[in-house]
Amino acid sequence: MKRIKDWISGLLQNPLAWVFFVLFLMAEYWNYEHGKQLDTVCEAVPYADLLPYQPKTDLEKAQVICDDRRNPPDLPDE
């Protein structure tokens, strides 16, 4: 039990650990905000009946991205 307390106290006193923790929080917040922006864009993009295999226009690219967000691929059961 003493080893755990020493490890935690050493971690709290390590400034590099705090820097990495703050960077981690900033990255998570950015991902959250970016996801909200993509949701807003995907609400404005119309559904496509047939998605192109190689999208050429910006609208087609947005439709492919939004389709992936609306219908995530199935993960194989392990």
Average of per-residue pLDDT across 8-17: 81
**Helix (H/G/I), strand (E/B), else coil: 62:** helix
The answer to the question of residue 61 being in a domain is: yes
Instruction: Please indicate whether residue 52 or residue 39 has the higher confidence score (pLDDT).
Output: 39
The answer to the question of residue 1 being in a domain is: no
**Token couple for 33:** 């905000």
**Token couple for 61:** 């690219």
d(CA 6, CA 4): 5
The answer to the question of residue 4 being in a domain is: no
Closest CA to 64 of 75, 73, 53: 53
d(CA 38, CA 2): 47
The answer to the question of residue 38 being in a domain is: yes
Residue with tokens 């971690």: 11
The answer to the question of residue 52 being in a domain is: yes
The answer to the question of residue 66 being in a domain is: yes
Q: Which domain holds residue 37?
A: 25-72
Please tell me the pTM assigned to this model: 0.56
Structural domains of the chain, count: 1
